[in-house]
Amino acid sequence: MLTLNETHEAGLKSWVESANEHDCRFPIQNLPYAVYKPADGDDFRVGVAIGRQILDLRALAALQPFCGAALQALDACQGDSLNALMALSAEHWSALRLSLSRALRAGSAHQAKLQPLLSEHATALFSLPAQIGDYTDFYISLHHATAVGSLFRPDNPLLPNYKWVPIGYHGRASSINVSGSDFLRPLGQTRPLPDAPTPSFGPSQRLDYELELGIFVGSGNAQGRRIDMDEAESHVFGLCILNDWSARDLQAWEYQPLGPFLAKNFASTISPWVVTLEALAPFRVPFSRAADDPQPMPYLASEHNSAAGAIDIQLEVALSTRKSRAARHEPHVLARSNFKEAYWSIAQLITHHTVNGCNLRPGDLLGTGTLSGPAAGQEGSLLETTRGGKQCVSLPWGEDRYFLEDYDRVVMHAYCHKEGYPSIGFGDCAATVLPAG
């Protein structure tokens, strides 16, 4: 169980002045990791965000400023991915976070050494934060599952297993890209009308986004060794934003009987920043189920999960178009939702994923599935917002959308906020749809 410690103190300030600004999402209480190339650099390296700056951890490691577990963790940050750091223990991650927090605080004796190791966030180029070996996408929003199920099965929107087992499928790791990586509209087979005698082939006409979070696995487990609920979170390094783009017309034709395939594997986008699970400790909230719902089976239950298994993370998705950008309009927010509404917790996903002996590895990514809320304006996909393409979205600059069109740009944000505490942000997750190749 992650507990609050000195790194979470609300009053902490940094000698990096931009980290102390009121609207800063990367205060010293956050310290998320990314893989980046500074404007004057020639290769990618691991960095940590502090305000509008990035601290070069490869250069910091060369100075040998820390000791013990923190030194070992910092040494693991000398490559071009976070995998080596992720492979260490939660104790190593916590020790490095504590040492970085102390080094970056106002009045730190390390300021003179660290100041030259900072570069501007705005001019950096980002890469994927880790080499992602495997990717599993779950389906943990009851509101999303109910809304989508009602489009196809109005009398029985949820299948019998939904409230008993975390539903997921294995996705395509090779087509996950970092924010800013645009992609081509996918081609494929579709069946335009239910009674059409043959399918057609061409660009997807019902391209959609999915507002999700990504969960990066840290230390893994040996094949055959299950991870139980009490230790599940010690295997989680951190979270990012995830947009799992979906071609709904391809999906409708292909998904039976084996589930998603080409409708999902052409592109997924994640934010470059990974916010550690420890940084999110102040935003923990109880995890509970409605009294008349099936309660989690014993292997998916624990006292800690009930007391603080959910996390209050606010999410939003916004859209800009070629027309809106030309007129310099701000992206239009389409929906807002919250991770705390999810039907399954992070610990439950880890435990269930390994209950059959499946081995997870450092850098593996788990998607939450679309995170929707119960009310209008909280839909995590256009499929829900437009009720399956039957109700258009009117944009403030005079355009309408049922699904995404070429050159539409989707931007997702996630952040944690509570009274009296600095806001913790995840950065941007953005990409533009390009015409089919």
Q: Is 153 annotated as a binding residue?
A: yes
- Which residue is associated with the tokens 């223990």? 89
Q: How far apart are CA 320 and CA 327, in angstroms?
A: 11
* Calpha distance 15→104 (Å, rounded): 6
Confirm or deny that 244 is annotated as ligand binding: yes
Residue 99, H or E segment:
helix 90-104
Q: Which residues pair with 344 in a beta bridge?
A: none
Buried b (16+ CB within 10 A) or exposed e, 1-16: ebeeeebbeeebebbb
Q: Does residue 268 have a known ligand-binding role?
A: yes
Cα separation, 235 vs 118, whole angstroms: 30
Write out the DSSP string of 272-312: S-BEETGGGGGGEE-----TTSPPPPGGG--HHHHHH-EE-
385 is in an annotated binding site: no
Q: Which amino acid is at 358?
A: C
- Residue 405, marked binder: no
> Out of 144, 235, 332, 353, which one is annotated catalytic?
144
Determine whether 144 is an active site residue: yes
In sequence order, what DSSP letters do the residues of 146-196 get, joined into one string?
HHHHHHH-TT--S-TTTTTS--EEE--GGGEEETT--EEPPEEEE-SSTT-
Q: What sign does the CA torsion over 267, 271, 275, 276 have?
A: positive
User: Alpha helix locations (H) across 186-289?
Assistant: 229-232, 248-254
Known binding residue 251? Answer is yes
What is the Cα–Cα distance from 208 to 401, expressed in whole angstroms?
A: 11
Query: Is the separation of the CB atoms in 15 and 105 below 8 Å?
Result: yes
- Is 139 annotated as belonging to a binding site? yes
Write out the catalytic residue numbers: 144
Q: Which residues are annotated as a binding site for Mg(2+)?
A: 244, 264, 268
Annotated binding site: 137, 139, 153, 210, 212, 244, 251, 255, 264, 268, 370
Which residues carry a binding-site annotation for Ca(2+)?
Answer: 137, 210, 212, 244
Annotated binding site for substrate: 139, 153, 251, 255, 370
